[in-house]
Amino acid sequence: MDLVGETFLMSKFLIVILAILVLAIVMYSPNIYKLYKLATLYNEKSIAKNFISINKVFDTSNPISASEKTFVFEKEDFELPNSYEFEGEQLNLIEGLDHFHTDGLIILHDGKMLFEKYWNGNTKDSKHIAFSVSKSYLSALFGIAIEEGLIKSIDDSVSIYLDDFEGTGYEDVKIKNLLQMSSGIEFNEDYADPNSDINRFARATAKGSSFRDFAKTLKNGKKQGTYNHYVSLDTQVLGMILESVTDMPLREYLYKRIWSKIGTESDAYYIADKTGTDMALGGLNATLRDFSKFGQLYLNEGSWDGEQIVPKSWVLKSHTPDAPHLMPNAGDLSSSEWGYGYQWWIPGDPLTDYTAHGIFNQFIYVDPVSNVVIAKTSSNHRFRSEKEYSKAAHIAMFRSITKHIQNTFN
């Protein structure tokens, strides 16, 4: 073959390779882009922006519409305390809020708004990722579903409601043990470990895997109901049970039973998988004002404007540890220093206040003694290296604020 012929064949070969590359980019670029966005999601310079535009990173659900009858808290003048006490020291509160990269802070007392402020490009209209604060919403919906008779008992096992989970690690796990993060399922929730189960789950989601398929891969590691260990997929399985018994997406049940009833001012949305399943374990995105209303609902023991929305008994059980492994500082019986109820955390000492908490320091904190709710969104890029420190410091800040409120208004 002469030089002209070889050149012609080489050109055809390069054209074919180029065509294959173009086709691959067209077919896989959405996943490649999502994986890139996921890999850079927590970068210090972009984390705050990413947390209020999560729909650019993951697939999301149809919107959860705002309430037709919105509610706006009456405002009352209040100044934050100058300091908070933590680990035997008096620390500057504003410096603390700045250190933990606070995006928004709302403080409610006696049903009035004492404080509202936003940072890092956030506004009252920003829809911020809630991460595991979403779990506490799931708990409320579960209590409602039980009240409605859709679920017979929290002592029922998963496979009664999800027959496709027979033969999986979740087959015989009781609903109560899912609610209390005591399933016995092996799971590494360390966000700082790139090979952890939670990071594998995030990558699988970005690539288009379903939540359901991932949950079925998990195995048992301990006897259920004996050890408190945080497993986010436990909550996702609870979400699947809810979707099965209500015959509707989680977002629709949330809208009908809670969102439309508590005067929410803005639309919200969930991260969703390729099947359209909402991410119950941490995918809710909403405004801080609407997060604070959920806290007020729980402070009101599940009641809003005269209507009992979440059963009062369920609210109480949700923040009451009922076994040794669920108590704060349970030692070898728990992998956490905090106590746990039904998808709510109990910091302890005292046992009176409780909180929803999401990674990177998202909070809905409730203190029935002082009649205070504090809702906080954050983009704390340091969270993975100072997880327990940041959690404990926030409870110290919140308790200092509630003490200051009591001193101011009593």
Tell me the residue type at 306: G
Cα separations in angstroms, 3 against 10, 11, 16, 93, 206: 10, 12, 20, 77, 48
* Interval 183-239: pLDDT, tens: 999 999 888 888 899 989 988 887 888 999 999 999 999 999 999 999 999 999 999
d(CA 19, CA 13): 10
Task: Indicate if the pLDDT at residue 38 is higher than 70.
Answer: no
Q: What is the pLDDT of residue 314?
A: 98
Cα distance between residue 402 and residue 350, in whole Å: 14
Report pLDDT for 66: 98
Least confident of 21-25, 55-59, 133-137, 271-275: 21-25
Element (H, E) at 234: helix 232-246
pLDDT digits (tens, 9 = 90+) for 358-389: 999 999 999 999 999 999 999 999 998 999 99
190-194 contacts, C-beta under 8 A, 24 or more apart: 191/359, 191/383, 191/384, 192/384, 192/385
Structure confidence at residue 21 (pLDDT): 57
Both tokens of residue 368?
């029935």
- What is the reported pLDDT for 410? 80
- The ranges assigned to domains in the chain are 47-409
Q: Are 179 and 323 in contact (CB under 8 A)?
A: no
CA angle 376, 381, 383 (to 5 degrees): 75
pTM above 0.85, yes or no: yes
Kindly indicate the confidence band of residue 2, based on its pLDDT and cuts at 50, 70 and 90. Answer: low
Give pLDDT, residue 26. Answer: 46
Point out which residues pair with 84 in neighbouring strands.
Answer: 91
The pair of three-digit structure tokens given for residue 365, joined into one six-digit string: 């904190």
Count other C-beta atoms under 10 Å from residue 63's C-beta.
Answer: 15
Residue 313's alpha-carbon distances to 151, 319, 351, 355, in angstroms, are 16, 11, 17, 17
Closest CA to 187 of 165, 170, 210: 170
Q: What is the pLDDT of residues 286-318, one digit of tens each?
A: 999 999 999 999 999 999 999 999 999 999 999
Rounded Cα distance, 397 and 384, in Å: 20
Burial 362-378 (b: 16+ CB within 10 A, else e): bbbbbbeebbbbbbbbb
291 within 8 A of 133, measured Cβ to Cβ: yes
Of 185, 193, 52, 227, residue with least CA distance to 131? 52
Query: What does the pLDDT read at residue 31?
Result: 60
56-113 pLDDT, tens digit each: 888 899 999 999 999 999 999 999 999 999 999 999 999 999 999 999 999 999 999 9
* pLDDT for position 30: 54
User: Is there a contact between 130 and 358 (Cβ–Cβ < 8 Å)?
Assistant: yes
Question: Does residue 402 have a pLDDT over 50?
Answer: yes
Q: What pLDDT, on the 0 to 100 scale, is given for residue 278?
A: 97
- CATH class as words, domain 47-409: alpha beta
Q: Half-sphere exposure of 75 toward its Cβ, with a 13 Å CA cutoff?
A: 8
pLDDT over threshold 80, residue 19? no
Interatomic CA distance for residues 68 and 34, integer angstroms: 34
pLDDT tens digits, residue range 238-267? 999 999 999 999 999 999 999 999 999 999
Tell whether the model's pLDDT for residue 15 goes beyond 90.
Answer: no
What pLDDT score was predicted for residue 20?
A: 62
Residue 27 scores a pLDDT above 60: no
pLDDT of residue 43 exceeding 50, the answer is yes
Please say whether the beta carbons of 269 and 222 come within 8 A. no
Which residue reads 């027979």 in tokens?
166
Task: Tell me the percentage of the chain whose pLDDT exceeds 70.
Answer: 91
pLDDT at 18 over 80: no
**Banded model confidence at residue 25, pLDDT cuts 50, 70, 90:** very low
Distances (CA, A) of 323 to 164, 221, 288, 328: 30, 20, 33, 11
Contact 287, 127 (CB under 8 A): yes
